Amino acid sequence: MTDSDPPEPLVQLQDVGVRYPTGTHALVGLSLDIQPGEFVSLLGPSGCGKSTVLRLVGGLTKATSGRVRRAWDGGPSQDAPVGCVFQEPTLLPWSTVWNNVYLPLRLQSQRRKSARQRVDEALALVGLTEFAKAYPRELSGGMKMRAALARALVTRPRLLMLDEPFAALDEITRFRLNDDLLRLWSEREMTALFVTHSVYESVYLSTRVLVLSERPGRVVDDITVDLPGPRDESVRSTSRYLELCARASDALHHAMGEAPTAKGAAS
């Protein structure tokens, strides 16, 4: 490989189809790739197959046609290449925050003593050091989501996948967590795959937004988000941000078979 060769994608889906046993075609002819270091958002109508893409990449669903290539395939099975965060934080209510974050390492048979440094580091990353001994019921919604993020990061995954993680949170908490996630992504040089219904959120966070059609999902627009980083709230009022939101919004309306709105109004 020479310096001019493009890097190997971390994940590549080529002409992938998924048909569930119920007969539902969730995806047909979907192609996409994710390069190391990218922050890619999947934006699409409800039911178009976004979560199915995450399950495919995570190895929980098999493609019924086409090819899925992941850079970690064939590597040591002890490694946890993917970390996941869902809309519900799904913390164990009877365990402390520390033990919840320790769980993925415990499942890899790591003893508490050898896992301590990694768990403490993950808690510090999300600003929850002070709450290590608290129980989930003692945390706000945003703090629970931070704990879920720490649990996803504790294995130092090669790819962080997030399925509408902030959809149930109020706007102020959501904006804060957007900024925390961006900070984590740049500090840890992670690759992220993020599912959202929000045009604004996808453009704010991503280096690339993939707009999917209605089910069966396929990529109808691949938008490079050329906003400079590090990003903060001031980005939200720049003309480039608003232009990119309008483009994503138009693509989304088009994907849903609707006429674009006059201002490219985003949801």
72 touches 78 (CB < 8 A):
no
Query: Smallest Cα–Cα separation from 25: which of 68, 58, 65, 67?
Result: 65
At 213, phi and psi to the nearest 5?
A: -75, 175
Strands 11-19 and 25-34: antiparallel
Please say which residue, 45 or 136, places its beta carbon nearer to ligand ATP: 45
CB of 228 to ligand ATP, least distance (A): 30
CB of 195 to ligand ATP, least distance (A): 6
Please say which residue, 216 or 264, places its beta carbon nearer to ligand ATP: 216
92 touches 103 (CB < 8 A):
yes
CB of 242 to ligand ATP, least distance (A): 24
Please say which residue, 38 or 163, places its beta carbon nearer to ligand ATP: 163
Which positions touch ligand ATP (CB under 6 A)? 20, 22, 24, 26, 44, 46-52, 215
Please say which residue, 27 or 148, places its beta carbon nearer to ligand ATP: 27
Q: 74-85 burial string, b = 16+ CB within 10 Å, else e? A: eeeeeebbbbbb
